Amino acid sequence: PLESLIQKLDHKKRIKAIKVIRETTEELSEQDQLLVRLVYGSDQPVSVAAKVIDLSVSAARGRLKGLLTKYRERLLAQGIREP
């Protein structure tokens, strides 16, 4: 979801968005970082990522939804939205 947003941005906003995403990711717990990287960085199904971090699939989906909301709020706070 974040990757498609970034691709639509102009160069200056793209750099800013990547910085916000990187900073937000660094603030997450190790478990949440791993969840994000498995699902969005490595294209693993949520079911596989959930098993790796010892969560139920529904808990992993809920966590991802909350994390995506956090990323979205941080991006919006910096004035970054879909063009």
pTM (predicted TM-score) = 0.87
Q: Which residues contact 49 (CB under 8 A, 6 or more apart)?
A: 34, 35, 38, 39, 60
> At residue 21, what are phi and psi to the nearest 5 degrees?
-65, -45
Residue 1, pLDDT score: 66
Residue 81, pLDDT score: 86
Query: What torsion do the CA atoms of 12, 10, 70, 74 make, to the nearest 10 degrees?
Result: 40
Q: Is the pLDDT of residue 83 over 80?
A: no
Give 27-68 pLDDT, tens digit per residue.
999 999 999 999 998 999 999 999 999 999 999 999 999 999
Q: Residue 79: is it exposed, middle or buried by C-beta count within 10 angstroms (0-12/13-18/19+)?
A: exposed
